[in-house]
Amino acid sequence: GAVVSQHPSWVICKSGTSVKIECRSLDFQATTMFWYRQFPKQSLMLMATSNEGSKATYEQGVEKDKFLINHASLTLSTLTVTSAHPEDSSFYICSARVASGARVYEQYFGPGTRLTVT
Amino acid sequence: GEDVEQSLFLSVREGDSSVINCTYTDSSSTYLYWYKQEPGAGLQLLTYIFSNMDMKQDQRLTVLLNKKDKHLSLRIADTQTGDSAIYFCAERYSTDKLIFGTGTRLQVFP
């Protein structure tokens, strides 16, 4: 149980284009999803917290107009990198928090999406 | 501010025990976690410990928490080659937020 998927797993896009990454909780409902960014050989940095039906909360230093987050349902959150630049190339990982029950504060992570901007 | 530190690298022989250490700064943490990340993959939750506990054992994994020193460790007994990965400790800083450590790369050699 508690499986989170991401799509795509790997994407290459040209500078100036936008790319959308999906995060789905497959077998549970998630009122809250989180988006992280991981640079090579580094730790995960929280970018934003996404709550179903409301606006995302962004961490300091993360441009909300560049990284658009939509959490339209209890099982799906999307991250759109707009006008991508090479410095946006990174590994993006989402996680989902169980909506209710004994493990309500546990986060389950997706497999990650590697974005390369050329 | 919150800050979580780990040693970068650990190399052990197959069959030996591995001990991965972590220090944190936020004394108000409620839960502390250990995650495993294999190359090119997301994070797998291995185990966690509540802040009022000193120790938790789960099969080959033993977590020790020293709240006074803000020190957390993960011991893997009978380490196998499949345990080779990066291990992250994380503290729950608020209800939602996780602060991750710098990660320890564990290499297991035959």
Residue pair B29/B4 in contact (Cβ under 8 Å)? The answer is no
Cα gap A50→A110, rounded to integer Å? 15
Q: Which residue has the tokens 């795509």?
A: A8
Q: Measure Cα distances from B37 to A36, B3, B78, B108 in Å.
A: 14, 20, 19, 15
Cα gap A7→A29, rounded to integer Å? 18
**A-interface mutation test, from B43, B45, B92, most A Cβ less than 10 A away:** B43
- Contacts of residue B97 in chain A, CB cutoff 8 Å? 46, 49
**Which one-letter amino acid corresponds to residue B108?**
V
Confidence of residue A68 (pLDDT cuts 50, 70, 90): very high
Task: Give the mean pLDDT of A28-36.
Answer: 90
Q: Is the pLDDT of residue A65 over 90?
A: yes
**Interval B63-108: pLDDT, tens:** 999 988 999 999 999 999 999 999 999 988 766 788 899 899 999 9
**Interval A15-27: pLDDT, tens:** 999 999 999 999 8
Interchain CB distance below 8 Å, A112 and B44 = no
Residue A114, classified by CB atoms within 10 Å of its CB into exposed (0-12), middle (13-18) or buried (19+), is: middle
Q: Which two tokens stand for residue A27?
A: 């077998």
pLDDT at A103: 64
Neighbours of A98 (CB within 10 A): 20
| B102 vs A: CB within 8 A | yes
Q: Which two tokens stand for residue B109?
A: 């050699």
Q: Residue A91: name the closest of A24, A44, A33, A23 by CA.
A: A44
- Contacts of residue B46 in chain A, CB cutoff 8 Å? none
Cα gap B86→B103, rounded to integer Å? 6
Give contacts of A 62-91 with B, CB under 8 A: none
- Which of the pair, B27 or B74, is modelled with greater confidence? B74
